[in-house]
């Protein structure tokens, strides 16, 4: 970054500081990951100079002969990787991607049935503070009060009661496998469209460690980072019957010119995810999450649903005498990056909830395996015990930094870094 260093030394210093932070800390936020250098190079390319309003072959600007090929490459790779009939790679992120689905399939005031936010759903699944809960009529289903798992019989009863235009299947804080086939059957029974939001699990889906929603859904939405390890962006997959409506909703409905530099980075990430080793990487994410969950249970933490099937773990911090805010802050001071999170039927407020959400995509990308998951569980337990003791938390932080030095963040073009070996 010599040009940036010379032009803007203040910003250069900040970026270097963030680079060091990502190197020295254990990043456990499940929606974060490390991209490859190839993805970063494509995202930082000259395509950031180009405006390309429209779609390949149907642009409103000249000079699109290269851009059309780049976007076309991303589209074809997305369709092939997910087995979808149609792909739109232009959404700026996951939230406008979901909004585009409602614009395409609904009219204002139509009913959307989604998972309640405190039970693991997302703001854009019809929560009240989101535009999706203001322009459309939101109805919500919840997890079972005893198991905290999705109750498909109860979801079916709710769908029969409210007769939604769209049912949303997907979550942002649900640690178990989602039965998309069951959701598909419910949607067909009530005459609803099915939107499956796989923003968190897209990499697990293409890696073969989570069932795919594509055969059952009308539309699939996802972000392009998280477990997919691409740049920050959005992606829509749909049946050919909905292609025209989806494309029209994205552009000109909600967006102007697409960010072709991000689309180029996505094309690289999709190519990486199509490599055979990516399946091993996806399996390693889940294996690491299971190992970490088991180690936390052994140390007395209560976990929502008692464990995990995917990349994500939801800790009930109150089981160890802390709030989610207290535990996540103590972890941060100890070099462990997580986020406070509500848990199902949480009696506490969102700004001081009972839970902490953690995940394993980033640590898996660094090459960490089962032994490191046990060490991380120890770090979390010790951080909780050391709440209010800055010196003790600083000692843990130094131990965390020492472990991180043995597992460098990925820098090459390869998508996989074998657990236990360290990134090369």
What confidence tens digit (pLDDT) does each residue in 243-278 have?
A: 999 999 999 999 999 999 999 999 999 999 999 999
Burial of 20 (0-12, 13-18, 19+ CB in 10 A): exposed
Lookup result for tokens 């989610």? 324
Query: Is the torsion defined by CA of 23, 28, 31, 36 positive or negative?
Result: positive
**Active-site residue (options: 12, 24, 51, 110):** 51
Cα distance between residue 224 and residue 201, in whole Å: 10
**Active-site residue (options: 43, 111, 223, 262):** 223
Cα distance between residue 275 and residue 270, in whole Å: 9
Query: Is the torsion defined by CA of 95, 96, 101, 106 positive or negative?
Result: positive
* Region of poorest pLDDT, from 145-159, 293-307, 406-420: 406-420
Q: Is the pLDDT of residue 418 over 90?
A: no
- Furthest C-alpha separation in the chain: 63
**Active-site residue (options: 24, 32, 41, 53):** 53
Query: Known catalytic residue: 141?
Result: no
Q: Please tell me the predicted confidence (pLDDT) of residue 421.
A: 53
Kindly report the number of other CB atoms within 10 A of residue 154's CB atom: 14
**Active-site residue (options: 77, 226, 290, 366):** 226
Per the CB < 8 A criterion, the answer to whether 144 and 154 are in contact is yes
Per the CB < 8 A criterion, the answer to whether 92 and 256 are in contact is no
For 4-41, write each residue's pLDDT tens digit: 999 999 999 999 999 999 999 999 999 999 999 999 99
Query: Known catalytic residue: 226?
Result: yes
Query: Known catalytic residue: 232?
Result: yes
Query: Known catalytic residue: 177?
Result: no
Q: Please tell me the predicted confidence (pLDDT) of residue 412.
A: 47
**Active-site residue (options: 71, 139, 142, 197):** 197
Cα distance between residue 90 and residue 200, in whole Å: 19
Per the CB < 8 A criterion, the answer to whether 228 and 203 are in contact is yes
Cα distance between residue 400 and residue 24, in whole Å: 7
Residues in the chain: 424
Q: Please tell me the predicted confidence (pLDDT) of residue 410.
A: 76
For 100-141, write each residue's pLDDT tens digit: 999 999 999 999 999 999 999 999 999 989 999 999 999 999
Burial of 362 (0-12, 13-18, 19+ CB in 10 A): buried
H-run or E-run covering 152: helix 152-162
**Active-site residue (options: 232, 248, 279, 299):** 232
Q: Is the pLDDT of residue 409 over 60?
A: yes
Query: Known catalytic residue: 158?
Result: no
Query: Is the torsion defined by CA of 100, 104, 110, 114 positive or negative?
Result: negative
CB proximity list for 210: less than 8 A, separation 6 or greater = 177, 178, 201, 204, 309, 310
Give pTM, 2 decimals. Answer: 0.95
Q: Please tell me the predicted confidence (pLDDT) of residue 414.
A: 42
The band of 168, judged by pLDDT with boundaries at 50, 70 and 90, is: very high
Q: Give the domains, in start order, of the chain with CATH numbers.
A: 40-273 (3.40.640.10), 277-424 (3.90.1150.10)
Q: Is the pLDDT of residue 235 over 90?
A: yes
Q: Is the pLDDT of residue 417 over 90?
A: no
């Amino acid at each position: 970054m010599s040009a940036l260093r010379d032009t803007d030394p203040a910003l250069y210093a900040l970026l270097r500081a963030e680079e060091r932070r990502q190197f020295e800390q254990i990043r456990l936020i499940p929606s974060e990951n490390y991209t490859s250098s190839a993805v970063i190079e494509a995202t930082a390319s000259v395509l950031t100079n180009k405006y390309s309003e429209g779609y390949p072959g149907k642009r409103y600007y000249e000079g699109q002969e290269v851009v059309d090929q780049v976007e076309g490459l991303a589209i074809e790779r997305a369709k092939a990787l997910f087995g979808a009939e149609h792909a739109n790679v232009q959404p700026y992120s996951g939230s406008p991607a979901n909004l585009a689905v409602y614009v395409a399939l609904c009219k204002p005031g139509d009913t959307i049935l989604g998972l309640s936010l405190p039970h693991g759903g997302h703001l854009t699944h019809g929560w009240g503070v989101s535009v999706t809960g203001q322009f459309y009529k939101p109805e919500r289903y919840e997890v079972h009060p005893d198991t905290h798992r999705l109750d498909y019989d109860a979801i079916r009863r709710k769908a029969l009661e409210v007769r939604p235009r769209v049912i949303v299947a997907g979550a942002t804080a649900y640690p178990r496998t989602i039965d998309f086939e069951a959701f598909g059957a419910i949607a067909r029974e009530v005459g609803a469209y099915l939107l499956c939001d796989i923003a968190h699990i897209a990499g697990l889906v293409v890696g073969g460690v989570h069932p795919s929603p594509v055969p059952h859904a009308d539309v699939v939405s996802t972000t392009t980072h998280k477990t997919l390890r691409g740049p920050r962006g959005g992606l829509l997959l749909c049946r050919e019957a909905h292609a025209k409506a989806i494309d029209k909703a994205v552009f000109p409905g909600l967006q102007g010119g697409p960010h072709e530099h991000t689309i180029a980075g996505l094309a690289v990430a999709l190519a990486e995810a199509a490599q055979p080793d990516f399946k091993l990487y996806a399996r390693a994410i889940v294996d690491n999450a299971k190992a970490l969950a088991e180690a936390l249970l052994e140390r007395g933490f209560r976990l929502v649903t008692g464990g995990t099937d995917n990349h994500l773990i939801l800790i009930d911090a109150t089981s160890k005498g802390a709030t989610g805010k207290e535990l996540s802050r103590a972890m941060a001071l100890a070099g462990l990056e997580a986020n406070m999170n509500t848990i199902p039927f949480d009696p506490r407020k969102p700004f001081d909830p009972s839970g902490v959400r953690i995940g394993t995509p980033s640590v898996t990308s660094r090459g960490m395996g089962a032994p490191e998951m046990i060490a991380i569980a120890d770090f979390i337990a010790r951080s909780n015990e050391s709440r209010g003791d800055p010196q003790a938390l600083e000692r843990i932080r130094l131990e965390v930094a020492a472990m991180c030095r043995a597992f460098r963040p990925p820098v090459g073009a390869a998508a996989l870094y074998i657990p236990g070996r360290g990134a090369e």
